[in-house]
Structure 1
Amino acid sequence: MIGAHQPPAELTIPESLPLSQLIAPLVAAEDALARMDERLRTSRIREGFISRLHYADACASMWLEGELVSLEDLVLHDAAADVRAPTPQLARARTVLRTRRIISDQPPGRALERGGLALLSGKPAADKEFATEMYRHGSRSADTDETGLDDALSALDEVLSRTGRVLSGENIETPPSPALTPTEDLRRMADSLEHLPPLLAAGLLWDRWEAHPPASGRAWLGRQLVADYLRARGKAAAHLPAINSGLRAVPWEHRRARDGGARLRAWLEAAQAGALAGLREHDRLVAALATLERKSSGRRVTSRLQDLVELAAAHPLLTAATVAQALGITQRAARNLVAELGLRETTGRGRYRVWML
């Protein structure tokens, strides 16, 4: 274990929040997350819903950092079908999206292992299996610009650090004692929190990462690692929890409160809010899909309407081009099918129109 020569810090529930005040939000969050996971485990639209969840959580991650990225733009950018030049914020959202997909595709807890943490943090590692998965998803090529900027900032930080040590009279030829990186610290903490309930332990991990994010600017990565920690502890076997989506529903002053106990309670409220929102969206999609299936029933054998229903269930957004490519028809025929099925148009534009359930 990294840092084995240092005993893990003792982590307990903050004294400023009595346990009696913590039980209610903990039980509510546990119940909501369990119901959400069980609903997805047996859902007929599980894959399509998880795809939507990835996009929504990536957009929410950017929102938490003060950047606005629309779901529509992210879906189109991910499909290389942008209708306008992509912004740096959109590129970063795609990095979050692809990282989340990689974590979701791996076994629970894989991202918190040594090789997973190193690669997800942009550091070299000898884990060839995980490196192959990263390459397959294209994360390295998509993140080239951001990585270059991170390297430049890291180099600048190093120069400033060395300058400060020289001015203070320190001998820079003697390297400072190695310190745990944020990712190593998170893994060490995770090992020391096994005695706590999973949601409480995850909240403490989230709070530690938010307080000490990596210098490279990847503060968003910690929230995805915490989501994977919940999977590893058995709280979400059927999906990777949407941590960012839940945190977005909690007021900023609660998430950033000075009191650690208040922040932990905000975390539990966020976990509940994210799960409940997911349940509502899942049920809405199931109802919308049932309506479309009634419209497409009784059609000729050669009708592609049922194929369009399945396509709409699997993807968060559709364009005439994506429908035409998937069904092997012309874009005009695709637009006619969409109009016949009655999918909801989301842009209000005459050109580059986008539809969804």
Structure 2
Amino acid sequence: SLWIDGELVHLEDLVLHDATRDIRTPTHELTIARDVLRTRRRIAAQSPDWALSTEGIRTLRQTSDNTPIGADAAEPAGVIRSAVVTDPEGEGDEGDDTEFLPDVDYAAIDAVLARSEAAIGDARRPSHAAGSRAAASRTEKDPLVYDLDWDEDARLDEWRSVLGQAEHLPAVFRAIIALDAWNELSVLQHAPWLGRLLCASILRQAGITTGSHLAAINLGLKTIPVDRRRHRDRETRLLAIAHG
């Protein structure tokens, strides 16, 4: 999934990070890769129609906006894994007080701290109605992290409109159109990968895939040159996705 977005994550690192057995400090890309993996598991654990429902999209969107989604999906908010410090060689530098904690999920800690700071800041503001406070918390985003002119609500509504217009088409065609629309609309700033999982959910909901399986459409898309997947001509893009 991240390969398609132009990033590189080694599978071995992802396996270790998912098992909290990192041998080096996790990169930002590796944390996202784990989020993609655990989001797949979360969708697969629900009913086939959940991911595309209003509640499903709302939940997935919120958790992907509160990185890391993997930590939220696997553990209650605020839970931090216990740290285990090991020195198998017994050759630690006694003059260095800094120790590498391989089992600490630093991204999860950062997410908890960020949510705590936001809650404290919100509590210190003059009281408002609950609805107004919730709306303000959604709109007050860090301009260093988010493009404040990026209206995700409007883009998501437009994507749903495209999905509704393609409702009469066969499931595979519908998934192709939905994926192209998600890419072109750039619905979510920080979770472009979520659209590919939602399109895999279309196939699952239609019975193209069975049980809890989500089609790994990223593997097919990797075989298509990026200049075809991102071509300016819509028909070229749709054929490229179909071939993938």
**1: distance between equivalents of 2:205 and 2:216?**
15
Shift of 1:253: 1.3
1:330 corresponds to = none
1:122 aligns with 2:112: no
User: Does 2:180 align with 1:216?
Assistant: no
Is the radius of gyration larger for structure 1 or structure 2? 1
Q: TM-score, normalising length from structure 1?
A: 0.46
Is 1:263 the equivalent of 2:237? yes
**Aligned twin of 1:157:** 147
Kindly provide the amino acid, as one letter, of the partner of residue 137 in structure 1: A
1:98 counterpart = 2:38: yes
Query: Which gives a bigger RCO, structure 1 or 2 (Cα 8 Å, sep 6+)?
Result: 1
List gaps (5 residues or longer) in structure 2. 65-69, 79-104, 115-139
Identity %: 38
Q: 2:222 aligns with which of 248, 266, 280?
A: 248
Residue equivalent to 1:57: none
In the TM superposition, residue 216 of structure 1 has moved relative to its aligned partner by 2.9
Deviation string, structure 1 residues 113-171 (Cα, Å, up to 9, x no partner): 111111111279xxxxxxxx9855249677655796x942487533xx5xxxxxxxxxx
Please give the secondary structure, in 2, of the residue aligned with 1:121: helix
Residues 102, 134 of structure 1: 8 Å contact kept: no
Q: Kindly tell me: are residues 214 and 139 of structure 1, through their superposed partners in 2, closer, same or farther at Cα, counting changes over 3 Å?
A: farther
Which of 134, 137, 140 matches 2:74? 137
SS at match of 1:110: coil
Map 1:33-112 onto structure 2 (within 5 A): 61-112=1-52
| 1:236 correspondence with 2:209 | yes
1:108 and 1:232 in contact (8 A); partners too: yes
Report the structure, 1 or 2, having the larger helix content: 1
1:195 aligns with 2:135: no
Give the TM-score taking structure 2 as reference length. 0.66
SS at match of 2:189: coil
CA distance in 1, matches of 2:17, 2:71: 19
The answer to whether the 8 Å contact 2:152/2:188 transfers is no
User: Residues of 1 paired with 2:177 and 2:49: CA distance?
Assistant: 17
- Please list every run of 5 or more consecutive structure 1 residues that lacks an aligned counterpart in the other structure: 1-60, 125-132, 162-177, 271-357
AA of the residue aligned to 2:147: D
Distance 1:114 1:205 in 2: 16
- The answer to whether the 8 Å contact 1:74/1:93 transfers is yes
Aligned to 2:199: 226
Check the 8 A contact 2:52/2:198 in 1, yes or no: yes
1:9 match: none
Q: Aligned partners of 2:20, 2:152: CA distance in 1, in Å?
A: 41
Q: Give the drift of 1:191.
A: 2.8
Aligned residues: 184
1:154–1:215 CA contact under 8 A, matched in 2: no
Alpha carbons of 1:265 and 1:195: their partners in 2 closer, same or farther (altered >3 Å)?
same
Distance in 1 separating the partners of 2:14 and 2:3? 13
Q: Secondary structure at the match of 2:207?
A: coil
Which residue number corresponds to residue 181 of structure 1?
154
Q: How far did 1:188 drift?
A: 3.4
